[in-house]
Amino acid sequence: MKQIVSSTETAIIVNDVVKRFNAASEPWWWRLRGGRPAENGDHANGNGTIKARRGKELVTAVDHISFDVHRREIFGVLGPNGSGKSTLIRLLSTLLLPDAGTITIFGLDVVRDEMKVKRIINRVSVDAAFFKKLSPRENLLYGARLYGVSGREADRKAREILKRLGLRESSYNSPMEDMSRGMQQKVAIARAFLTQPVVLLLDEPTTGLDPRSKLEVEAFVNELRDVHGATIVITTHDMNEADSLCDRIAIVDDGKMVALDTPTGLKRMINRNGHEPSLEEVFMDLTGKELVEKDDLTDFELQKVLD
């Protein structure tokens, strides 16, 4: 049963935040092949291609977004891929710096107090990175030590968490590269839970997991909030997950926030001739788009842009 947060203490303040990227006007791989296929109106050279233009276009991924997250709240961010929700998570986690506006986490500015913020947060990404040649045990112990958790304590907690997430004991000491994507995602979730962060940022954490594993992750998220007092921000494509897990949900589209309310409040915004609409119907009505529209930048692709 979802617990509605009653605390009025503010954990996160996002104030008029803007993030833009200088994106190449054409895909980077066109430059590697010496040009792109000629189109109508282009002046092709002898081999049927033209040189790739070197111009840049400015893309606004987060466009003047503001919201607060209460202490011990599970706050959801929904939007089609490419809407800016993953960029928003990266801003909260200090991986990106805002071009305008401010973000504070328990009074700490993510720019001025970056190292202090890092000590109280953890993040799970849909494309979590590991040392693939190492085992889950080695990856988890390494991550735990970075947060000051002793090896023995980390090993005990890691085994307990992974067991509850359904990871086989025999896989604990096997190389990560031999594991399925879903199993790797469980290790990523365990790594974040291991440190019991004050603020947990979950970017599509259950992608690739089976239905039972998703329910186990939801139980863990609730436990972190209810038992350990964590504040949680989650992006997801699973409407049922968002509906059952989140206290409030922000819907973003093209970098802008189009709605913010409780799941029940969002459903009341849409008239369905007397019957309560689903959260997916609300989403479609407010954005006019499918949930999955185009790919977000992965962390690897993002680094290419920043480079």
User: Domain 10-40+50-306, CATH 3.10.20.30 — does that match?
Assistant: no
Token output for 222: 């609730």
- Which neighbouring-strand residues pair with 234? 76, 202
pLDDT of 205 reads 84
Determine the pLDDT at residue 306.
45
Q: And the tokens for 262?
A: 């409780």
Q: Dihedral angle at the C-alpha atoms of 106, 110, 115, 118, nearest 10 degrees?
A: 70
Q: Which ranges in the chain belong to alpha helices (H)? A: 28-32, 85-92, 114-120, 136-146, 151-164, 181-194, 211-226, 239-245, 263-268, 279-287, 299-306
| Helix (H/G/I), strand (E/B), else coil: 234 | strand
Residuewise pLDDT in 10s, the chain (307 residues): 455 454 568 999 999 999 998 765 455 454 555 554 444 444 444 433 333 344 567 889 999 999 999 999 999 999 888 889 989 999 999 999 999 999 999 999 999 999 999 989 988 887 767 888 888 888 888 878 777 777 788 888 888 888 877 777 778 888 888 887 778 888 888 888 787 789 999 998 888 778 888 888 888 888 889 988 899 999 988 888 999 999 999 999 999 999 999 999 999 888 767 778 888 888 888 887 655 544 455 554 444 444 4
Spans of all domains in the chain = 10-40+50-306
Structural element, H or E, at residue 57: strand 56-70
| Cα–Cα distance, 184 to 194 (Å, whole number) | 15
pTM comes to 0.77
Predicted pLDDT of residue 39: 45
